[in-house]
C-alpha cells in the first residue's frame, strides 16, 4: 500500500512540531496541519507570553524595594507597549518554528483536519484527503468554561494577553497554575485582583508549605482570595460585569476570567468514527509509546491528558519519532517531572509532597524559611521557603519544594541529581555557593522534623 506521506501530524504545537521535525530528520515524508498559528498554546498564548507578562508585572516588586537600595523611581506602565512587543516576540518565535519544520522538509498545511480513517485525514478548507502510514494527533487543549448564565462575558487565558486595555479590576475563578499566575500578572500591573476558588486553599496537590506561602505572598501583594465559593451567574452592568457568587453576594468587576482547567481538543476530530478510544476525562487514551487504540494513530501532548506541560509534550513527540521512525523504542518516564508556578512568589517543585511522602514510609524533612536577600534592606517581611524531603533509611531525596525568587531555575537543576537517585549525603558533599538561596539545600544539618510510622515528630 502506498501513502501520500509517511506521517501526517495534526496540530503544530510543541509536541506536534517536535515529532514532525524529528521524523523528517529520520527520512520520513511528513506533513503537519495547523488551523491557527505554528507554535501552539505554549508559544502563541501560553508559557511564552505568560512569562513575558510575569516579567512585566515583577517590576512592581522591584520598584517597591528600589528605595531601600537608594533608588527613587517614578514609573508608569503602558499596556499597549507590552502587548505590541509580546506580539513581535511570538511572531519571531513562530517564524523560527516554521523554519525548523521546513529545514528537514516538513510540509506545513494551514487548514482544519478531520481524521477520515486509520490512514487518512480530510482537509476541511481545501476539501481534499491525505493518506499516511501513520497519523499523529497533537491538537492540545482549550480552556474549560463552566456552564453558567453569562459565561460568555468572561475571558480565558486565550484572550487575556490581548485585551484592548487593562480592566480596573478582575475576578479570576480557579485555584490552579493559570489562576495564580494571572493574578500575579494583573496585580503587578496595577489591576485590583480577586481570586475565587471552590476549595480551601490554592494549588491543590502542591505541598502545603508552598500553598500557604504563596497564599501569604499573594495577600501581601494586595490580591484578595475568596474560598469555598464559585460564580453562579454574570450579567452586564454598564462597563462592568455584575457577578453573583454561590454565597449569595453580588459584586461588580471590570473583567472576569475563568482559569478552571483545560479540556483536550478532541471534539469534531472524527476520532469516534475510526474507533480511537478516549479516557474517562475525554483525553485520547494512549500506551507508553503514545499509540492509541488504532495501531496507525498516535497522540502526544495535552490531548492525551498525561501532564499538560510543554516539555512533556516535546519529549512525547520526540520519543514517538524515535520509536516509529528510528527503530529506537522509547517510553517517556512521567514519574518525576519538575514543574514551576510563575506566580509571585514563584514556586518550583519536583517529587513527592510532604503529605505524599509521609504515607510511603519514614521520612526526614529539612525546612528553611528566611527573608530573600533582596528584601532585607526594605520593610518587606515575605519569607522564602526551601524544603527537602528524604527517606530515613539511605537518605534518598524524595521531594524538593521551593518558594521564592529563582525557584524555577533552582528546581530545574535539582531535577538532575534527583533523576540520578541522589541522597542527602550527595547534597551534603556539595560545597555551598555563597551568598545564594540555593545553598540552603546543601547546608541542612539535622532534620527540622521527621515522620515515623506516619506520625509527625518534632518541628
Ligand atoms: P488547573 O487544573 O491547574 O486548575 C484548575 C482550577 O480550576 C482548579 O483549582 C480547580 O479546582 C478549578 N476548577 C475546575 N473546574 C471548576 C469549576 N467547574 N468551577 C470552579 N472551579 C473549577 O488548570 P489551569 O487552568 O490553571 O491550567 C491548566 C493546565 O495547564 C495546568 O494543570 C498545567 O498543567 C498547565 N499549565 C502549566 C503552567 C506552568 O507550567 N507554569 C502554567 C499554566 C498552565 P480544584 O482544585 O478543586 O480541582
Inter-residue contact 370 to 411 (CB < 8 Å): no
Measured from the CA of 230, which atom of ligand 1 is nearest?
Answer: 20
What pLDDT does residue 439 have? Answer: 98
Count of H-run helices and E-run strands, the chain: 12, 23
For ligand 1, atom 24, the nearest C-alpha belongs to: 261
For ligand 1, atom 41, the nearest C-alpha belongs to: 341
Greatest alpha-carbon span in the chain: 74
Q: Where in the chain is the domain with CATH 3.50.50.60?
A: 5-142+263-325, 151-260
The rounded percent of the chain whose pLDDT value lies above 90 is: 99
Q: Is the pTM of this model over 0.85?
A: yes
For ligand 1, atom 33, the nearest C-alpha belongs to: 308
Measured from the CA of 47, which atom of ligand 1 is nearest?
Answer: 42
The verdict on the CB of residue 306 being under 6 Å from ligand 1 is no
Other Cβ atoms within 10 Å of 1 Cβ, number: 5
Confidence of residue 103 (pLDDT cuts 50, 70, 90): very high
| Burial grade of 165 (CB within 10 A; 0-12, 13-18, 19 or more) | exposed
Q: Which CATH number fits domain 5-142+263-325: 3.40.640.10, 3.50.50.60, 2.40.30.10, 3.40.50.10440?
A: 3.50.50.60
Q: Given a cut of 90, is residue 303 above it in pLDDT?
A: yes
Inter-residue contact 423 to 394 (CB < 8 Å): yes
For ligand 1, atom 23, the nearest C-alpha belongs to: 261
Q: Return the closest-CA partner of residue 38 out of 84, 112, 97, 90.
A: 97
Q: Given a cut of 90, is residue 282 above it in pLDDT?
A: yes
| DSSP per residue, 326-371 | SS-------SS--EEE-SSS-EEEEE--HHHHHTTS-EEEEEEEE-
Q: How confident is the model over 374-388, as a mean pLDDT? A: 96
What pLDDT does residue 189 have? Answer: 98
Compute, in angstroms, the gap from residue 1 CA to the centroid of ligand 1: 45
Computed on alpha carbons and rounded to an integer, the radius of gyration of the chain in Å comes to 24
Confidence of residue 360 (pLDDT cuts 50, 70, 90): confident
Which is it for strands 455-458 and 347-351: parallel, antiparallel or unpaired? unpaired
Compute, in angstroms, the gap from residue 176 CA to the centroid of ligand 1: 4
Other Cβ atoms within 10 Å of 41 Cβ, number: 26
Q: What is the mean pLDDT of the chain?
A: 97
Compute, in angstroms, the gap from residue 164 CA to the centroid of ligand 1: 25
Our mutation pick for probing the ligand 1 site, out of 177, 195, 200, 305, counting the most ligand atoms within 8 A of Cβ, is 177
pLDDT digits 0-9 by tens, 405-458:
999 999 999 999 999 999 999 999 999 999 999 999 999 999 999 999 999 999
- The H or E element spanning position 133 is strand 128-137
Strands (E), 12-70: 30-34
Compute, in angstroms, the gap from residue 142 CA to the centroid of ligand 1: 12
Q: Residue 434 catalytic? A: yes
Compute, in angstroms, the gap from residue 200 CA to the centroid of ligand 1: 15
Q: Return the closest-CA partner of residue 162 out of 77, 37, 49.
A: 49
Measured from the CA of 178, which atom of ligand 1 is nearest?
Answer: 26
Cis peptide bond prior to 435, omega within 30° of 0 = yes
Handedness of CA 79, 81, 82, 87 (dihedral sign): positive
Helix residue ranges per DSSP H, 138-192: 157-160, 177-188
Q: How confident is the model over 91-118, as a mean pLDDT? A: 97
Compute, in angstroms, the gap from residue 258 CA to the centroid of ligand 1: 10
Confidence of residue 129 (pLDDT cuts 50, 70, 90): very high
What pLDDT does residue 397 have? Answer: 98
Compute, in angstroms, the gap from residue 206 CA to the centroid of ligand 1: 12
Q: Given a cut of 80, is residue 268 above it in pLDDT?
A: yes
What pLDDT does residue 250 have? Answer: 98
The verdict on the CB of residue 174 being under 6 Å from ligand 1 is yes
Other Cβ atoms within 10 Å of 108 Cβ, number: 17
For residue 288, give the 3-state DSSP assignment: coil
Assess if CATH 3.30.390.30 describes domain 345-458. Answer: yes
Our mutation pick for probing the ligand 1 site, out of 174, 182, 265, 338, counting the most ligand atoms within 8 A of Cβ, is 174
What pLDDT does residue 459 have? Answer: 76
Q: How far is CA 180 from CA 215, 362, 364, in A?
A: 9, 33, 30
The Cα–Cα gap between 459 and 451 comes to 10
pLDDT digits 0-9 by tens, 16-68:
999 999 999 999 999 999 999 999 999 999 999 999 999 999 999 999 999 99
Measured from the CA of 143, which atom of ligand 1 is nearest?
Answer: 25
The Cα–Cα gap between 194 and 253 comes to 9
Confidence of residue 78 (pLDDT cuts 50, 70, 90): very high
The verdict on the CB of residue 427 being under 6 Å from ligand 1 is no
Measured from the CA of 146, which atom of ligand 1 is nearest?
Answer: 18
For ligand 1, atom 36, the nearest C-alpha belongs to: 177
Q: Which CATH number fits domain 151-260: 3.10.350.10, 3.30.930.10, 3.50.50.60, 3.30.70.141?
A: 3.50.50.60
Q: Where in the chain is the domain with CATH 3.30.390.30?
A: 345-458
Which is it for strands 449-452 and 397-403: parallel, antiparallel or unpaired? unpaired
Confidence of residue 175 (pLDDT cuts 50, 70, 90): very high
Q: How confident is the model over 89-106, as a mean pLDDT? A: 97
The verdict on the CB of residue 178 being under 6 Å from ligand 1 is yes
The verdict on the CB of residue 270 being under 6 Å from ligand 1 is no
Compute, in angstroms, the gap from residue 188 CA to the centroid of ligand 1: 21
What pLDDT does residue 1 have? Answer: 83
The verdict on the CB of residue 53 being under 6 Å from ligand 1 is no
What pLDDT does residue 164 have? Answer: 97
Our mutation pick for probing the ligand 1 site, out of 261, 316, 344, 350, counting the most ligand atoms within 8 A of Cβ, is 261
Amino acid at each position: 500500500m502506498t501513502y501520500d506521506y509517511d506521517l501526517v501530524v495534526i496540530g503544530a504545537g510543541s509536541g506536534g512540531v517536535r515529532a514532525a521535525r524529528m521524523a523528517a530528520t529520520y527520512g520520513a515524508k511528513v506533513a503537519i496541519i495547523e488551523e491557527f498559528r505554528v507554535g501552539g498554546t505554549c508559544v502563541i498564548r501560553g508559557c511564552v507570553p505568560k512569562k513575558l507578562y510575569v516579567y512585566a508585572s515583577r517590576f512592581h516588586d522591584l520598584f517597591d524595594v528600589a528605595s531601600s537600595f537608594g533608588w527613587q523611581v517614578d514609573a508608569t506602565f503602558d499596556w499597549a507597549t507590552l502587548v505590541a512587543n509580546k506580539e513581535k516576540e511570538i511572531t519571531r518565535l513562530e517564524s523560527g518554528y516554521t523554519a525548523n519544520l521546513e529545514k528537514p522538509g516538513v510540509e506545513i498545511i494551514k487548514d482544519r483536519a478531520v481524521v477520515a480513517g486509520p490512514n487518512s485525514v480530510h482537509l476541511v478548507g481545501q476539501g481534499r484527503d491525505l493518506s499516511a502510514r501513520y497519523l499523529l494527533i497533537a491538537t492540545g487543549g482549550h480552556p474549560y468554561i463552566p456552564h453558567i448564565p453569562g459565561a460568555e462575558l468572561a475571558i480565558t487565558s486565550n484572550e487575556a494577553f490581548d485585551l484592548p486595555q487593562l480592566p480596573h479590576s478582575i475576578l479570576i475563578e480557579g485555584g490552579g497554575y493559570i489562576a495564580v499566575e494571572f493574578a500575579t500578572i494583573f496585580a503587578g500591573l496595577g489591576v485590583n485582583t480577586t481570586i475565587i476558588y471552590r476549595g480551601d486553599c490554592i494549588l491543590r496537590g502542591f505541598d502545603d508549605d508552598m500553598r500557604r506561602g504563596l497564599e501569604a505572598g499573594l495577600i501581601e501583594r494586595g490580591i484578595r482570595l475568596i474560598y469555598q465559593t464559585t460564580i453562579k451567574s454574570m450579567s452586564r452592568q454598564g462597563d462592568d460585569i455584575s457577578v453573583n457568587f454561590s454565597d449569595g453576594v453580588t459584586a461588580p468587576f471590570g473583567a472576569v476570567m475563568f482559569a478552571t482547567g483545560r479540556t483536550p481538543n478532541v471534539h469534531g476530530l472524527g476520532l469516534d468514527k475510526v474507533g480511537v478510544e478516549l479516557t474517562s476525562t475525554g483525553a485520547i487514551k494512549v500506551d507508553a509509546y503514545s499509540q492509541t487504540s488504532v495501531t496507525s494513530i498516535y497522540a502526544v501532548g495535552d490531548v492525551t491528558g498525561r501532564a499538560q506541560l510543554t516539555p512533556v509534550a516535546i519529549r512525547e513527540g520526540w520519543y514517538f519519532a524515535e520509536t516509529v521512525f528510528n527503530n529506537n523504542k522509547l517510553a517517556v518516564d512521567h514519574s518525576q517531572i519538575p514543574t514551576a508556578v510563575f506566580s509571585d512568589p514563584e514556586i518550583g517543585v519536583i517529587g513527592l509532597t510532604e503529605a505524599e511522602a509521609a504515607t510511603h514510609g519514614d521520612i526526614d524533612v529539612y525546612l528553611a524559611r528566611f527573608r530573600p536577600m533582596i528584601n532585607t534592606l526594605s520593610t518587606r517581611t515575605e519569607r522564602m521557603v526551601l524544603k527537602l524531603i528524604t527517606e530515613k533509611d539511605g537518605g534518598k531525596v524524595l521531594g524538593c519544594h521551593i518558594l521564592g525568587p529563582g525557584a524555577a531555575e533552582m528546581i530545574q537543576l535539582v531535577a538532575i541529581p534527583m533523576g540520578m537517585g541522589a541522597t542527602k549525603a550527595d547534597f551534603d558533599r556539595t560545597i555551598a555557593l555563597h551568598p545564594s538561596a540555593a545553598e540552603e539545600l546543601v547546608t541542612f544539618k539535622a532534620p527540622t522534623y521527621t515522620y515515623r510510622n506516619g506520625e509527625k515528630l518534632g518541628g
